[in-house]
Amino acid sequence: MRPNSQSVKHRSPHGSEREFGGTLGATCIPIFLPLTVLYLISVCRSPAASVLQWPPPLPPGGQLWDPLAPVLLLGWITLHVFLYSLPLGRVSEGLVLRDGTRLKYPINGFHSLCISLVLLVLLLWLGAPLGHLFELLLPLAVCAIGVSFLLSFYLYIRSFWAPHHALALGGNTGNPLYDFFMGRELNPRIGNFDLKYFCELRPGLIGWVVVNLGMMMKEVELRDSPSLAMILVNSFQLLYVADALWNEEAVLTTMDIVHDGFGFMLVFGDLAWVPFTYSLQAAFLVVHPQELSTLTASAIVALNGIGYYIFRKSNSQKNQFRRDPTHPSVSKLETIATATGKRLLVSGWWGLVRHPNYLGDLLMALAWSLPCGFSHLLPYFYVVYFTILLIHREARDERQCRSKYGLAWDTYCRRVPYRIFPYIY
Ligand code: NDP
């Protein structure tokens, strides 16, 4: 039988399907990933910076805690709650929910980024020692992990008061460990404040930019001026974050918002994993400075530019097509019909591979690591992890699309046989 969107729409939220290794995965990941964050930060700042060293260098207990860390972290989150609530930008509607309603979301993340950057410049001008973030990385990560657990427990408990139609299809199996991990409630809100949407692109993502800037200031403290490698890493990643927030509305149609419940997986990813592992290259460069020739730097800039172009163009093409298929920029593209009434693009970027946006993202990931040279594996952690994440994400999306579109999806796969890398995968 080929389920169509109607059957998905009315499916009971008591899903029995298990992802991420089921209960075993849901038990091990919340233990293993927080330890990985702390381990990577410690290794990154050690002179050897070797991920192959055994036993791994453990940080002295005293380095894990600093009373300033919870103050800074909670202050940062509070600032972003305040910025989220400001009547800036427009309000957009999400996709139609199972009960037929649509939620409203403020599109003011880019304003939050700009205001945060202005405040940072002001703090620097007033002499705030932003470079001290380098010493605070471990205590801040410990606090972010603590906040992730607390928020996830709160979300799990409050979900039992949520109406049935507000539960996610995948995180409501009745197994507490699995549901805690996947998230039971789809769009938990306190009044109009949407907890998942808030966490998705604000405190963690903008926090990543601040951590990077802190690493740059530390480098200035140590060596009087920022290196070209550090400037590249900071600029590339700032561009990525600014782009995500400039196109914030697009997050409303992503798997995270539309499909996944809000549980430990997303909370931890947003608040701890992104700011503290995506900034590893900048932290690495503080202790392991790299010389870059102008030619090498130009080649890396070009690689990042190509990746960004593919990433942005393909994401925009699909968003435009989903929002208005009659728009002149997409109306001439070849498409195939599906039983749900929605069409699938089979030409343009989405005719090249089935996930051109992942291809662009991976090229950028490589460009972020290359300024760190080839002497260590650690700066390439992000590329390796991100490749695994996107291959896994592609498989999850593929399953969902096959269940939504059935035969039409099979036709699309025959027309566009490669998933991410043309002629390779
Ligand atoms: P996508 O933006 O790739 O969206 C997948 C959805 O697009 C499908 O479920 C389907 O939904 C629609 N779709 C697929 N193929 C077609 C087609 N041929 N024609 C029309 N619509 C199609 O999903 P993600 O949320 O995974 O990725 C969004 C961006 O975020 C990507 O650029 C990704 O690289 C990035 N990302 C970054 C992460 C990071 O940590 N830096 C983590 C995860 C993602 P439907 O048909 O229902 O519209």
Residue-range domain boundaries for the chain: 1-55+63-290, 292-425
At residue 15, the pLDDT reads 53
109 C-alpha to ligand 1 centroid (Å): 20
Distance from the alpha carbon of residue 390 to the mean position of ligand 1, in angstroms: 10
Question: What is the rounded (10 degree) CA torsion for 205, 206, 211, 217?
Answer: 150
Average pLDDT over residues 43-65: 83
Distance 403 CA to ligand 1 centre (A): 16
For 57-80, b where at least 16 C-beta lie within 10 A, e where not — what string?
Answer: eeeeeebeebeebbebbeebbebb
CA of 359 from ligand 1 middle (Å) equals 12
Mean pLDDT of 233-251: 96
Residues with CB under 6 A from ligand 1: 254-255, 311, 315, 318, 321-322, 342, 344-345, 350, 355, 357-358, 361, 393, 397, 400-401, 412
Task: Supply the pLDDT for residue 3.
Answer: 34
How large is the average pLDDT for residues 57-65?
82
- Band the pLDDT of 424: cuts 50, 70, 90: confident
pLDDT at 10: 38
- Mutating to test ligand 1, I would choose from 274, 320, 358 the residue with most ligand atoms within 8 A of its C-beta, which is 358
Pocket test for ligand 1, best of 361, 394, 399, 411 (most atoms within 8 A of CB): 361
pLDDT at residue 8 in the model:
36
Distance 393 CA to ligand 1 centre (A): 9
Compute the distance from residue 357 Cα to the ligand 1 centre, in Å: 7
Closest atom of ligand 1 to CA, residue 344 = 19
Question: pLDDT value at position 60?
Answer: 76
What would the pLDDT profile of 107-165 be if each residue is shown by its tens digit? Answer: 999 999 999 999 999 999 999 999 999 999 999 999 999 999 999 999 999 999 999 99
Distance 254 CA to ligand 1 centre (A): 6
> Which pLDDT score is estimated for 171?
84
**Whose C-alpha lies nearest to ligand 1, atom 22?**
344
Q: Quick check: 202 and 105 in contact, CB under 8 A?
A: no
If you average pLDDT over every residue of the chain, what do you get?
92
- Among 238, 249, 357, 399, say which to mutate for ligand 1: greatest number of ligand atoms within 8 Å of CB: 357
Atom of ligand 1 nearest to the CA of 322: 48
d(CA 294, CA 66): 40
In this prediction, residues 261-273 reach a mean pLDDT of: 97
Measure the CA–CA gap between 97 and 254, rounded to whole angstroms: 14
Residue 277's identity, in one-letter code, is: T
pTM surpassing 0.95? Answer: no
pLDDT of residue 69: 98
pLDDT higher than 70, residue 5: no
For residues 277-293, give the mean pLDDT: 96
| Confidence (pLDDT) at 2 | 31
Question: What's the pLDDT score for residue 14?
Answer: 55
pLDDT for 98 beyond 50:
yes
pLDDT digits (tens, 9 = 90+) for 316-362: 999 889 888 999 989 999 999 999 888 999 999 999 999 999 999 99
Q: Rounded distance, CA 195 to CA 256, Å?
A: 13
